[in-house]
Amino acid sequence: MKPSNKESAVNLLLYEGEAEKGPARPGQLRQVNTREILRLLRLHSPCSCADIVRQSGLSAPTVSSTINYLRRKHLVERIGRGTSSGGRPPTLLRFNDTFGYVAGVDIGGTAVRVVLADLHGKIVGKWVGPIYGKSTPKRVVALVMRGIHQLERHHGVPAKKLMAVAAGAPGITDARAGIVFSAPNLTNWKDVPLRQILEDSAGVPAAIENDVNLGALGESWSGTARGVRNFVFIAIGTGIGAGIFVNGRLYHGSDWAAGEIGYLRVPGTKETRLAIHRPGPLESVIGGGGIERMWRMSRNGNRTRRPAKPQHLKATEIFDLAQSGDPRARRVLMQSARILADAIADVGVILNTSQVVLGGRVGLHSALFEATRRILERNEIARPRLTLSTLGEDAQLCGAIWLALKTVEQQALP
């Protein structure tokens, strides 16, 4: 999950939805300079004051006074002398990445996953808590807090060092207001002020996002889409959703519903009114449950005398059977791949995106990936480069760490 170099670990992209800044006042300018110097220290440490002067373009007195301030806050440490280039050896400085920690959270329909990371984004530990019974907001947040506390205790991290929490919810989420409008796969999730609930429970700044958007942030930060300005991350599990990057920024849409491709129409299915509190047509057909229903309904087409296959298989188990040569499973796989390829082509025609990344428990299956890729390659247009997520099921957690670090930069650091 951790990016392969320091630059990607701290080069946080502009997050769509941030307010444009007007002319800075003196206090604001000092704050901006402090954050920029801290960012450079995170990126280049160990380094010297002179290095920061060259990299920032700020005056030596400004850099020196800011570093002294950061040392008093214990965000920066002296670690000795560097190599002299002819004069006095410079004092080397190091960013104190254990000054604080962040928690990233992925809320699923059946479990909550929590990760604890230091201020460089390095993973300290992970925790998974199954959701037993109803997945109401109160129960889910209580589970999140249990996971954070257990990670803190297990890894010896004082609770006071937690600086921010970021969580992904499986539904339409207003990241700016901190409200989950709807999460159909959870219980009683309608207009839930999740950010405020998390802040009240954890006592630190919080941020929330749609879970698939977090996956897109993760892939952009440290996954297969690093450096790609226009791409779509599609997660297929219980549901289906997409995170969209346009010109290097996550795109939310006017009502925070951009990427809800689970509501795409599927030819041949019953026409129904689209409603945010229930699954959409595409999700109903090739989400995990849809594929499993497709398998059960296909049993009447099997007229051979061979022993009957189990009727209650998971989508990934059906695709495993298809890879082993089972014709019935192969039909289900190909039908799923054709529908998915059509959805990707529709997205490609509209966005002309250069890359589509498949993720999620079902979307990561190699059989679905290969079958979909072969269908897309027949197109002359709307054939983006199809790749599998390199972060796997950790894409959302990686994006949550990114968002938590961004929250620390904006709200918690000086």
- Same domain membership, residue 168 and residue 29: no
CA 40 from chain centre, in angstroms, equals: 24
How many domains does the chain fold into?
3
Whether 117 and 101 have beta carbons less than 8 Å apart is answered as yes
Residues 86 and 122 in one domain: no
3-state helix, strand, coil in the chain (%, to 5): 45, 20, 35
Is 336 in the same domain as 278?
Answer: yes
Give the pLDDT of residue 16: 53
Give CA–CA dist 163/205, Å, rounded.
7
For position 278, what pLDDT does the model report?
A: 81
Tell me the residue range of the domain where 285 lies: 226-390
**SS3 for 188-236, per residue?**
CCEEECHHHHHHHHHCCCEEEEEHHHHHHHHHHHHCCCCCCCCEEEEEE
Q: Which pLDDT score is estimated for 409?
A: 84
Q: According to the model, what pLDDT value does residue 320 have? A: 98
pTM, 2 dp: 0.87
One domain for residues 116 and 76 = no
Count CA atoms closer than 13 A to 14's CA, side-chain side. Answer: 12
Quick one: 112 and 178 in the same domain? yes
Query: Between the CA atoms of 177, 179, 182 and 185, what dihedral angle is there, to the nearest 10 degrees?
Result: 130
Q: Which residues contact 116 (CB under 8 A, 6 or more apart)?
A: 101, 102, 103, 123, 124, 125, 126, 148, 151, 152, 155, 157
Quickly list H helices, 299-359.
315-323, 327-351
Query: Does residue 60 belong to any structural domain of this protein?
Result: yes
What would the DSSP string read from start to end of 143-196? Answer: HHHHHHHHHHHHTT--GGGEEEEEEEESSEEETTTTEEEE-TTSSS-EEE-HHH
Q: Please, are residues 393 and 13 in contact by the beta-carbon 8 Å criterion?
A: no
| CATH number of the domain bearing residue 81 | 1.10.10.10
Q: Are residues 111 and 127 in the same domain?
A: yes
- Which phi and psi angles does 18 have, rounded to 5°? -70, 140
Contact predicate 93/84, CB 8 Å: no
Pair 86, 151 in one domain = no
Residues 245 and 209 in one domain: no
Selection from 349, 338, 397 nearest residue 372 by Cα: 338
* Same domain, yes or no: 324 and 181: no
Q: By the 8 A CB rule, do 157 and 151 touch? A: yes
Are 114 and 136 part of one and the same domain?
yes
Task: Find residue 94's DSSP bridge partners.
Answer: 77
Domain-embedded: residue 355: yes
Tokens of 338: 């054709």
Burial of 119 (0-12, 13-18, 19+ CB in 10 A): buried
Q: Are residues 185 and 333 in the same domain?
A: no
Which pLDDT belongs to residue 242? Answer: 97
Return averaged pLDDT per consecutive 10 residues of the chain, 414 residues in all: 42 48 66 88 89 94 93 90 75 93 94 96 96 93 98 97 96 95 89 97 97 97 95 94 96 94 91 83 94 86 55 94 96 98 96 96 97 96 95 96 92 68
Look up residue 213 and give its two tokens: 């958007």
Is 221 among the domain residues? Answer: no
Instruction: Identify which of 214, 222, 247 has the alpha carbon closest to the alpha carbon of residue 360.
Output: 214
Residues 134 and 205 in one domain: yes
